[in-house]
Structure 1
Amino acid sequence: MPVLGVTSSPDASVGPKPRPRTGVVLATLLTCQLMIMVDVTVMNVALPGIGSDLDVGATGLTWVTHGYTLAFGGLLLLGGRAGDLWGRRRMFLTGVALFTAASAVGGLAPSAAWLVGARVVQGVGAAVAGPNALALLTTVFTEPRARMRALALYSGMAGAGFAVGLLVGGVLTQGLGWRAVLFINVPLGGLALLAAVRCLPAVPRRPGRLDLPGALTATAGVTALVYGFNRAATHGWGDAAACLALGAGAVSAVAFVAVERGAAQPLLPLSLFADRDRAAAYANVFVGYMASIPMFFFLSLYVQEVRGLGALATGFAFLPTAALMFALIQWVPRLLRRFGPGPITLTGSVSMVAALVLLTRLTTGTPYVPLVLAAALLMGCGTGLALMPLSVVIMSRVPQDVAGVAGGALQTIQQTGAALGLSVLTTVFGAASRGAAGPPRQVLVTGVTAAFTAAAVMAALTIPGTLAFRRRRRDEP
């Protein structure tokens, strides 16, 4: 077999195709998704302990989070396409194994460099496992209603994972130390691997060849953009390295589109965006994650630095958001079948805007109840209704031969949107803080509320996208 070519034979890593046990398959894929998304935020609460234990400064600590997000975001398209060509089950198993092993190595880290290296490998594993888990889900669940429910569950794990990461990070860091944040992935990953080996079905490979020019330009472009946004968030938009990275990312993105337009077997078929509903969903994923995910960062900053909450209490502050998102998972498929995506996502977008507007009213003395609690509940409802249906819209009717890359595109857009949102809002926060007067806590509140004001504007930009969805007939799945 050629190095870059594949045949249409079944995935060679398995024998005869088993009949999938859908309950176990779904639990396995959801566990994988939760692990991957939790690890985007789980280290945030643990950073002070890491800095003290490994004697690393603020710059080094940023790479504990950036190392993961750069590898994850930069390789998602490639990981999804590799599954389409070389076997989704095989690539999923490879990604989960890599993620689990890197978690164990990171938990044993004697130095910051060791830990950052482990986080990068974790990101690579997540980029390989994530899109193929989503593609496997669309393969196993073929009945429209069952697929819609499974996609809603998967999307709920994606959104709630950010909030759960802060909760889990707080509980583990305060109770067992920061290393437990990494070690917890080992038993979870091991169980997911065992279940996957036994229950995941063999999926035929798709004939084709890897689009190397597309892979190189996509990986370089997304990595440069995510790095540039992260760099701008910590060093400002005038930073030369941030500007250079963003410029390189923009050039690579243009080159990628040009390559894909002329490629016989593109890494990302542009036809994915020809469908009106799918294109609107991708756009709202980008803008929605810009507005919602940085909210966890700034609200965490507020409750810790202004209200003086510890790691555990900070994690529990986000429990209502995560709990409401999980509660909505069972309702979203029913609502989608009855009303279609437009009214549901519009309701969610309005709820998101309302939550962020409430948070602009924070002061140095604002108690958790009622304002912060109300905002947390509204954000849980908003992200659940505004973002959860988008995965269903994108993946429910995607052609099977590009399901992996469609899932990779979805998660790439999520990560890029979150990175851009954080960098923009950090800039707003810094500018407002520098222009504020008063004691340190008041200055911080001024910066945080300015960031929430900008986030509310971003969230409002999702509303036009909700109006672009076609109306669905009630009998349409």
Structure 2
Amino acid sequence: MDTEAMRPAEPKDAGQARPARPGLVLAACCLSQLVVVLDGSIMNVALPAVQSDLSFDQNSLQWVLNAFMIPFAGLLLLAGRMADLFGRRRLFLTGIAVFTVSSLLGGLAVSSLWLILARAGQGVGAAIIAPATLSVLSTTFVEPKERAKAFGLWGAAAGSGGAIGVLAGGVIVEWLSWRWVLLVNIPLGAVLMFMVASAVAESRDPQARRRLDVMGALSVTLGLALIVYGIAEGERYGWGSTRILTALGAGVLLLVFFLVDQAKLAEQPIMPLSIFRSRSVSVANAVTFFGGAAMLSTFYFITMQLQLVLGYSALHTGLAYLPLSLATFVGAGGCSVVVARTGSRPVLLVGLVLAAVGLLWLSRADETAAFAADLLGPTVIFGIGLGLLITGTANAATADVPESQQGLASGLLNTNQTLGSAVGLAILVAVANSRTKEAMKSVDPADAVARAHALSSGYERAFLVTAGVLAATVLIALAAPKARR
């Protein structure tokens, strides 16, 4: 007699029906995160073509990127909490739909305003997708080894997305049109809709009432949006201008109100401050803030070094990113077994050290640099370190969080990475520009060789500062809890 058949079925968690095809769930989450990260970088190499086709001026062109970043940063927390309350699968599908439709509209844009609004729509869709991918993984893979493996692959997709975006953008712009940088998301969106609808089981916090803290949601979204706006436009209007100071001041005040609202006023806060009682969550979010600053700024300055200093084409620039992309994938995926055995702390420490070493080496490259001798080694080391950081922070940020708050923890992690990227890039661009202007004072502005040297010296300074920031972040990572036996 089959004794297994006679055993009563184990009750399922009311908030989560376990999926029959976890492999497809993992593939959907990894592909979704890859598309989100990729879309944040793929437009970079297309900007000159976009400017020419839609008559952007030099100041307004940056909004092709900023229009995506601002709603993405501002809505991540709200979207993460909504996933916990209203259903992770439902929000996942909604985000994919918004992102895909916005991509179609962007690809059909006939004016600069049209494209900017479409990019903002993409940012909204990405903000819904990003926390959904991580919260679905967290609630699907609960066994430590499976969880570590899943997070490793998710981290590889997230870490390599930026570099793949530059490569894909260069190929698409050179062989097709900048419009296909956006239109390529349509078939990807259709595939993702099918994968999520087929494999992802609905889950939410069964104990929570379906209510949102409206005041909290508005204050954190507007506060983050104003801060990102102030940072993005600081170079254009001047950091001491009334516009920028007002935006930054209002953003800070709104975030202070948000914290008061969460602690004292909200009946059902979207970000219960009790989540920060977990030392693992607090350390992970601090590390990911500085790691995000290093990732986006390094991609930006490598691209500038390759194109403006060394004269690479868009396609050649994309190809130059392949080693970095592969190294990030290997670093993120290869450490999954280590995370399961040792916890996140050693992974974070090694990742920070490797990334800092790579940037120190990269700072030695100047206008005479050769790719194989001067750029290949440091970008590979940086990529491995970045992959370790992405996987380590994802594990640390969600490991000690109850299932009912997985969407919140995911949204919080993505928010800190996005804010770190915006803040870090703005500061490091100012550092690089200051050094470049200093180097140009004693040379002829028309001298192309002197200008290349001045630009390269600015990028070198930015790499050095970023390496120092990552080295200092090691002190934060040391506070991460050790692995439990």
* TM-score w.r.t. length of structure 1: 0.93
Q: Does 1:394 align with 2:405?
A: no
Matches within 5 A, 1:227-376: 227-262=229-264, 263-376=266-379
* Greater Cα radius of gyration, structure 1 or 2: 2
Alpha-carbon displacement from aligned partner over 1:142-178 (angstroms, at most 9, x marks no partner): 2222122112222222222111111111111111111
Alpha-carbon displacement from aligned partner over 1:359-395 (angstroms, at most 9, x marks no partner): 2212211111211111110111111123321101111
Q: CA separation in 2, counterparts of 1:418 and 1:171? A: 25
Q: Which residue of 1 aligns with 2:102?
A: 102
Q: Secondary structure of the equivalent of 1:461?
A: helix
1:78/1:267 contact within 8 Å kept: yes
The amino acid across from 1:250 in the alignment is V
Q: Does 1:80 align with 2:83?
A: no
Q: Which residue of 1 aligns with 2:123?
A: 123
Matches within 5 A, 1:116-155: 116-155=116-155
Q: Does 1:198 align with 2:201?
A: no
Q: Secondary structure of the equivalent of 2:59?
A: helix
- Residue 460 of structure 1 deviates from its aligned partner by 1.3
Q: CA separation in 2, counterparts of 1:243 and 1:296? A: 28
Q: Which residue of 2 aligns with 1:61?
A: 61
Q: CA separation in 2, counterparts of 1:236 and 1:371? A: 35
Q: CA separation in 1, counterparts of 2:463 and 2:237? A: 20
Q: Work out the number of aligned pairs and report it.
A: 462
Matches within 5 A, 1:166-185: 166-185=166-185
2:159/2:329 contact within 8 Å kept: no
The more displaced of 393-402 and 412-421 is 393-402
The amino acid across from 1:410 in the alignment is L
Q: CA separation in 2, counterparts of 1:182 and 1:471? A: 43
1:290/1:458 contact within 8 Å kept: no
RMSD over aligned CA atoms reads 1.8
Alpha-carbon displacement from aligned partner over 1:374-419 (angstroms, at most 9, x marks no partner): 1110111111123321101111231111111111111000000000
- Residue 466 of structure 1 deviates from its aligned partner by 1.9
1:292/1:455 contact within 8 Å kept: no
The amino acid across from 1:326 in the alignment is F
Q: CA separation in 2, counterparts of 1:138 and 1:387? A: 15
Q: Which residue of 1 aligns with 2:427?
A: 424
Q: CA separation in 1, counterparts of 2:122 and 2:427? A: 26
- Residue 470 of structure 1 deviates from its aligned partner by 2.1
Q: Pick closer, same or farther for the CA change 1:451–1:204 going to 2, 3 Å.
A: closer
Q: Which runs of at least 4 in structure 1 moved beyond 4 Å after TM superposition? A: 233-236
2:429/2:462 contact within 8 Å kept: yes
Q: Which residue of 1 aligns with 2:479?
A: 468
Q: Which residue of 2 aligns with 1:404?
A: 407
Alpha-carbon displacement from aligned partner over 1:265-303 (angstroms, at most 9, x marks no partner): 211111111111221111101111112320100110011
Alpha-carbon displacement from aligned partner over 1:310-367 (angstroms, at most 9, x marks no partner): 0011111111111011122332121113333222221111111111111221221111
Q: CA separation in 1, counterparts of 2:106 and 2:468? A: 38
Alpha-carbon displacement from aligned partner over 1:205-257 (angstroms, at most 9, x marks no partner): 54222011110111011111111111125544234322222111111111111
Q: Pick closer, same or farther for the CA change 1:233–1:271 going to 2, 3 Å.
A: farther
Q: CA separation in 2, counterparts of 1:234 and 1:335? A: 45
The amino acid across from 2:129 in the alignment is A
2:331/2:385 contact within 8 Å kept: no
1:233/1:424 contact within 8 Å kept: no
Q: Secondary structure of the equivalent of 1:423?
A: helix
Q: CA separation in 2, counterparts of 1:18 and 1:358? A: 47
Q: Secondary structure of the equivalent of 2:240?
A: coil
1:84/1:404 contact within 8 Å kept: yes
1:229/1:420 contact within 8 Å kept: yes
- Residue 445 of structure 1 deviates from its aligned partner by 1.2
Q: Which residue of 1 aligns with 2:113?
A: 113
Q: Which residue of 2 aligns with 1:5?
A: none
Q: Secondary structure of the equivalent of 1:365?
A: coil
Q: Pick closer, same or farther for the CA change 1:235–1:379 going to 2, 3 Å.
A: farther
Q: Pick closer, same or farther for the CA change 1:253–1:287 going to 2, 3 Å.
A: same
Question: Where does the alignment leave 5 or more consecutive residues of structure 1 unmatched?
Answer: 1-8
1:20/1:140 contact within 8 Å kept: no
Q: CA separation in 2, counterparts of 1:362 and 1:329? A: 26
* TM-score w.r.t. length of structure 2: 0.92
Q: CA separation in 2, counterparts of 1:18 and 1:142? A: 11
Alpha-carbon displacement from aligned partner over 1:97-148 (angstroms, at most 9, x marks no partner): 0101111111111111111111000111111121122111112212222122
Q: Pick closer, same or farther for the CA change 1:329–1:455 going to 2, 3 Å.
A: closer
The amino acid across from 1:409 in the alignment is L
